Amino acid sequence: MKFFQYISFLLLLFPLSVIAQKESDDIRAGNRLYKEKKYTEAEIEYRKALQKNNKSFEANYNLGNALFRQGKYDKAFEHYKNALPLTSDKQKTAYDFHNLGNTFMSGGKIEEAISAYKTALKNNPKDNETRYNLAYAMSQLKKQQQDQNQNQNDNGNDKDQNQNQDNEKQQPKNNPDKKEEQPQPQQPQMSKENAQQILEALQQDELDTQEKAKNAQKRTVRKTDKDW
């Protein structure tokens, strides 16, 4: 039994063989290709076995391994999952849950990976490789939670700092040596001719007003009659 190290956690990606089943020739052919690291060709052979018997645990499980090696984690997960109800053997179930945990880890689903590794250990408590993966996954989850807490604290500190900076910007700066320069309104540019016309118009208005006042005084003076 060989174990492969991958992204800091261990894989149980060795192919399982079958005896006296109609799909066995395809599975054996796939196993030979798999050991030669020809994972695409092995996938083809395992699929042939599934076409003959889609209830084969070995065909589903081994196909999952070949897909995983190609980085097709979602498809590998599907076949590992399909294989679970096809066996009552605890050792095979442990292998399957171990590799399900690996697919979760590859997808960054650490909590799901931990659950899968724990289930694998329930079926095979003596599996040291699964123990290692479980410990690794739990350490990664702890680190992830610590990083999240740190980010939240940093965001809170940044928010407080930004608020303080905003308050400082809103407060007036008292500097007796320097007065703020207020923008001075621009005086409209005017030609001499325009100035003269406006002056004459004002003078005419004033004359008209005076003339009206004189005319008002010349009008009938009201006579007041008193009764004693």
Domain boundaries, the chain: 23-86, 88-148
Fold of domain 88-148: 1.25.40
Provide the angle, in degrees to the nearest 10, between the axes of the packed helices 24-35 and 57-69.
20
| Alpha helices, H only, 70-127 | 73-83, 90-106, 110-123
> Which CATH number applies to 23-86?
1.25.40.10
Q: Which two tokens stand for residue 132?
A: 């290692």
Q: Do domains 23-86 and 88-148 have the same CATH topology?
A: yes
What distance in Å separates the CA atoms of residue 54 and residue 15, rounded to the nearest whole number? 17
Of 26 and 21, more confident:
26
Residue 6 bridge partners (DSSP): 9
What distance in Å separates the CA atoms of residue 58 and residue 136, rounded to the nearest whole number? 28
Mean pLDDT, the chain, whole residue set:
75
Q: In the structure, what pLDDT confidence band is assigned to residue 207 with cuts at 50, 70 and 90?
A: low
Helix (H, G, I), strand (E, B) or coil at 11: strand
**pLDDT over threshold 70, residue 88:** yes
**CB contact burial 73-93 (16+ within 10 A = b; e otherwise):** bebbbbbbebbbebbeeeebb
What distance in Å separates the CA atoms of residue 6 and residue 132, rounded to the nearest whole number? 13
State residue 14's pLDDT score.
Answer: 64
Cβ 42 vs Cβ 66: under 8 Å: yes
**pLDDT over threshold 50, residue 218:** yes
